Chains A and B, each alone.
Chain A
Amino acid sequence: MKRYQGLCEIGLTINGRARRVTLRPADTLLRTLRDTLGLVGTKMGCENGDCGACTVLLDGLPVKSCITLTLDAEGREVTTIEGLRDSVIQQAFVEAYGFQCGFCTPGVILNAYALLNHDNNPSAETMRSWMESNLCRCTGYEPIENAIKLAASKLR
């Protein structure tokens, strides 16, 4: 097992690009993304693993970056909201009014994107088990549900 101490420099793959960062072993991926790399599309809502605003994808699966060590992302593909461009799911969120203030939206979209990659015809139960990790205070969830269904129908 690799040991890290003090400041260390590691390589990360973020949105398909190689990045080098200097960090402390205790740094979370959320802090590295926002504070070191300026990728502020990833949001801080609680820094406690409770809200999902900080959701990013690690090798295509959603994780809460506020409770993920940056070191654990070494050698894996990190996808942030900046890595999705005009994707089907994003367009669906536009058309279905799937957000209001937009603060939860990057995390919600990344989670939904991963969900649809995993299953493009998800049952209500599957959608729930994926999406209940992302809190949204504005929308009442109906528009989010509609956006995911819309995207799923386009992807099928």
Chain B
Amino acid sequence: MKSQIGRSVLRKDAPDKVHGRVRYTDDLRLPGMLYAALLTSTVAHANITQIDIEAALELQGVQGVFTGKDFPLLVGLYLGDKPALARNKVRYYGEPVAAVVADDERTALEAVRLISVHYEELPLIRSPREALQQDAPLIHPDMADYVHIPAILPEPGSNVGHRTRVRKGDAAAAFAQADVTIEGQYEFPPGDHVAMEPRVAIAEIRSDGQVIIRSSTQSPYGVRAIMSRCLKIPTGKITVIAGPVGGGFGGKAGIQLEPLAYLLSRSLGGQPVRLANTREQDMVTSPGAPGLQSRVRLAARSDGAITAAEIEFLFDSGGYADYAVNVARAAGYACTGPYNIPNVSSDSLSVYTNHPFATAYRGFGHIEMSYCIERSIDLLAEKLQMDPVELRARNVIRAGHATPTNDVLDDNTGDLETCLRRAAAAIEWHKGSRRQINEHTVRAKGVSCYWKAPAIPTFTDAAATVSFNEDASVNVVTGAVEIGQGIFTGIAQLAAERLGIDTEQVHVVDEVITDRSPHDWTTAASRTLFMVGRAVLSAIDDAVAQIKRTAAAPLRCPEEDLEVRGGRVYIRDVPAHGLALEQVVLGYTYPNGNAIGGPIIGRGKYIARHLSGIDPKTGEGRPGLEWTLGAEGVEVEVDLRDGRYRVLRSACSMDVGTVINPQLARGQVVGAMAMGIGYTTREAFMFDSRERVLNQRLRDFKILRYGEHPEYIVDFVETPQRDGPYNARGLGEQGIVGMPGALASAFSRAVGVQLLRLPITPEYLWRQTHSAGGRSAG
């Protein structure tokens, strides 16, 4: 049997996906299902003075109309700050204010238009810096009363939802002795995930009180836990069902539409209620990607060694905290990027504003952090007149170095310098980083390094069970959700490898049902293949031990002498002497009819190793399980006359430990780079003077289109992650992390101005080119 590791096995979900036979949550039609629709706020910050619902209630087919008054409770992932429907006050444009439930969706939408709301507008907070001013209005005056987990540190009486402090070495002293220092201030507005499937949840309550939630969620167990905590339902009385998800990118982690769907169902006797976002609601009513304002100072010796960093990240969490508080925390503990900087002083804050609220977004704090750090390193390279690749190589983090939280990296650490050299080579950095093509066209290159560790609780877990069919094929059940990454194929490869069988012989159950599937933290943070993979391997090992126990008697030998491979259990030194697994996995039957053993069920589990909380004053601790390191390089072509451009090449070199499935791995990296191009060049909300979103449709919120994609060059380095499954580490998000830095570097080089904002649109480029200090066209 050939090894299953390192093979591009075809995706298990391919036949259904290409035939339109996958059933996403929105494809389900339950008997008696009612349809909900939301009325959302038309203003960004206001007191609600009156809501008239009578006309809506009178419409035929309407079963109920609900407002914040009906549901006096707060829900929140880490910090309980959010009502299911706005109560007394709205905090962002698009916030749900009322919900209608009707016999069909059309009626529900029609009824929504019959509700009228009166607002009394309040002063607005337009940015994190404004929110931190002395006299800024408080978006959450009741913050002191909010329930929160211990790792999150809200600052009542201010607009700060959380602050992560990192103090390592003596940054002030290092700055005092520095040969050179630079400072950069960066900023970008919030945006959105734009998963192609809008979020949807269907809730019902059975007669015995069992709450059934079907949801397009990355986090079925998280939904269960948070619903239990915030809605006071025992966990055992909640079942969350998560089938395949039409794209997540962080936007379907945590808690989304589920609590409101449940409350609506509860108000209507437990009948199934479907709450589905329109695209517009998916973009602004549900959470998106955080915006940022930041300041980075670096100190260095004249030889390029960076000696200190002073960093301030102000994440724009919008009206509610959601995941943004943890995003700020992740950016805080990863604050220097993958560089060995001995002295660090960093404050990373999650700050409330009157923008749509923010949640996890692919890269989780690292993409935002990376942009600011990579730009700063380019500023430093310019000041030192050093090659940006060499300056980075001079400072890359390696095994034995301490992270900003003073966690010393072990030998499992990837080889960043090799990644950097290979990414630079892929875009032919050595042939020059800027070239004039003709009078008005320039080609320019940029590079970046990145790192990312999963931002997970210290007790993050995974589990798996393995059972067998009569034909000895294997059923694997885990709590992992398929969100596009191809996890079931990866899992099948690991299981098949361990048993020495073909991946075809492994069936992975593709729906998570929280009271049937074993517990799993969340499908997020690029940790699924690592952790669920470990659990699956341990479940297989457990099953193998049981197979040997059953087979030892009929094979008349000690269990230790047995080997299980290729669909057989046999005596290691007499391989011909053995049994087919078909004869063993459901119990062995002797020729006279006597039977022993019984069905084999393997159990496996994994829990993160040696993670700790971080010290609130210094950040000391071990928050990152495994760091995936890598580098990216891009080449762009800019027309200096009007700022139009194309991204020509995009290269990524990543140290992934082991490549389990080359095509799936490449797919993750290419997809992440594409998302990174969109993030850098166009994806951002635009606001009017009253902080209302102007582009909440895909017509004017642009994402990358077919034909705009560059040539992708993907390369993997394999420094083993020895505690990973077959030495593999996570790779799902990392490809996005370095893109803003690399692209901004290339565009800056093209126009001869250091660009410090996102998105880098043609108009922004044009303005920079034609402002003082820019290279003039031609």
Give the number of chain B interface residues (Cβ < 8 Å).
56
Distance of A141 Cα from B709 Cα, bound (Å): 7
Hey, which chain A residues are within 8 Å of B590, CB to CB?
none
Hey, which chain B residues are within 8 Å of A95, CB to CB?
10
In angstroms, how far is the closest chain A Cβ from the Cβ of B292? 22
**Proximity bits, A130-156, B CB within 8 Å = 1, else 0:** 011011111111111100000000000
Tell me if A16 counts as interface (CB < 8 A to partner B).
Answer: no
Distance of A100 Cα from B196 Cα, bound (Å): 11
Hey, which chain B residues are within 8 Å of A81, CB to CB?
19-20
Hey, which chain B residues are within 8 Å of A140, CB to CB?
670-675, 704, 709, 712
| Majority-rule SS of B interface residues | loop
In angstroms, how far is the closest chain A Cβ from the Cβ of B670? 4
Tell me if B32 counts as interface (CB < 8 A to partner A).
Answer: no
Distance of A109 Cα from B18 Cα, bound (Å): 8
Stretch at the interface among A3-11, A42-50, A68-76: A42-50
Distance of A47 Cα from B198 Cα, bound (Å): 11
Tell me if B707 counts as interface (CB < 8 A to partner A).
Answer: yes
Contact across chains for B667 and A100 when beta carbons are under 8 A apart: yes
Contact across chains for B17 and A102 when beta carbons are under 8 A apart: yes
Contact across chains for B245 and A90 when beta carbons are under 8 A apart: no
Hey, which chain B residues are within 8 Å of A134, CB to CB?
706
Tell me if B14 counts as interface (CB < 8 A to partner A).
Answer: yes
Tell me if B533 counts as interface (CB < 8 A to partner A).
Answer: no
Among residues of B, the one whose C-beta sits closest to the C-beta of A46 is B279
In angstroms, how far is the closest chain B Cβ from the Cβ of A135? 6
Contact across chains for B697 and A99 when beta carbons are under 8 A apart: no
Hey, which chain A residues are within 8 Å of B673, CB to CB?
140
Hey, which chain B residues are within 8 Å of A99, CB to CB?
14, 17-18
Contact across chains for A103 and B20 when beta carbons are under 8 A apart: no
Contact across chains for B249 and A131 when beta carbons are under 8 A apart: no
Hey, which chain A residues are within 8 Å of B18, CB to CB?
90-91, 93-94, 98-99, 102, 105, 109
Contact across chains for B196 and A137 when beta carbons are under 8 A apart: yes
Distance of A104 Cα from B198 Cα, bound (Å): 12
Among residues of A, the one whose C-beta sits closest to the C-beta of B705 is A132
**Proximity bits, A84-119, B CB within 8 Å = 1, else 0:** 110000110111011111111110010000000000
Tell me if B663 counts as interface (CB < 8 A to partner A).
Answer: yes
Contact across chains for B698 and A50 when beta carbons are under 8 A apart: yes
Contact across chains for B197 and A45 when beta carbons are under 8 A apart: yes
Residues 439-491 of B contacting A (Cβ, < 8 Å): 483-486
Residues 54-71 of A contacting B (Cβ, < 8 Å): none
Which of B19, B667, B709 contacts A84 (CB under 8 A)? B19
Tell me if B247 counts as interface (CB < 8 A to partner A).
Answer: yes
Q: Identify which of A40, A95, A124, A132 gathers the most chain B CB atoms within 10 Å of its CB.
A: A40
Which of B29, B193, B671, B697 contacts A100 (CB under 8 A)? B671
Hey, which chain B residues are within 8 Å of A131, CB to CB?
706-707
Hey, which chain B residues are within 8 Å of A30, CB to CB?
none
Among residues of A, the one whose C-beta sits closest to the C-beta of B246 is A103
Distance of A20 Cα from B370 Cα, bound (Å): 57
Contact across chains for A101 and B197 when beta carbons are under 8 A apart: yes
Tell me if B11 counts as interface (CB < 8 A to partner A).
Answer: yes
Which of B29, B195, B279 contacts A101 (CB under 8 A)? B195
Taking A134-B706, A141-B704, A141-B706 as contacts, is the C-beta distance between A82 and B698 under 8 angstroms? no
Contact across chains for A101 and B245 when beta carbons are under 8 A apart: yes
Distance of A79 Cα from B27 Cα, bound (Å): 19
Distance of A109 Cα from B22 Cα, bound (Å): 15
Distance of A4 Cα from B35 Cα, bound (Å): 27
Q: Identify which of B13, B245, B246, B704 gathers the most chain A CB atoms within 10 Å of its CB.
A: B246
Hey, which chain A residues are within 8 Å of B21, CB to CB?
41
Tell me if A19 counts as interface (CB < 8 A to partner B).
Answer: no
Hey, which chain B residues are within 8 Å of A128, CB to CB?
706-707
Contact across chains for B667 and A97 when beta carbons are under 8 A apart: yes
**Proximity bits, B157-195, A CB within 8 Å = 1, else 0:** 000000000000000000000000000000000000111
Distance of A102 Cα from B667 Cα, bound (Å): 13
In angstroms, how far is the closest chain A Cβ from the Cβ of B735? 9
Contact across chains for A138 and B484 when beta carbons are under 8 A apart: yes
Which of A40, A43, A94 contacts B10 (CB under 8 A)? A94
Which of B8, B20, B246 contacts A80 (CB under 8 A)? B20
Tell me if A78 counts as interface (CB < 8 A to partner B).
Answer: no
Distance of A40 Cα from B675 Cα, bound (Å): 27
In angstroms, how far is the closest chain A Cβ from the Cβ of B168? 37
**Proximity bits, B1-20, A CB within 8 Å = 1, else 0:** 00000001011011111111
Instruction: List 16 A-B residue pairs with CB atoms under 8 Å apart, sorted by A's residue number.
Output: A40-B20, A80-B20, A94-B14, A94-B18, A97-B8, A97-B663, A99-B17, A101-B245, A102-B17, A103-B196, A103-B247, A132-B705, A137-B675, A140-B670, A142-B709, A143-B670
The interface of chain B, by Cβ under 8 A from chain A, is 8, 10-11, 13-24, 26-27, 29, 193-198, 244-249, 278-279, 483-486, 663-664, 667, 670-675, 697-699, 703-709, 712
Please list the 10 inter-chain residue pairs (A to B) with the smallest Cβ-Cβ separation, ordered nearest first. A41-B20, A140-B674, A101-B484, A103-B246, A81-B20, A100-B484, A128-B707, A102-B17, A50-B698, A40-B27
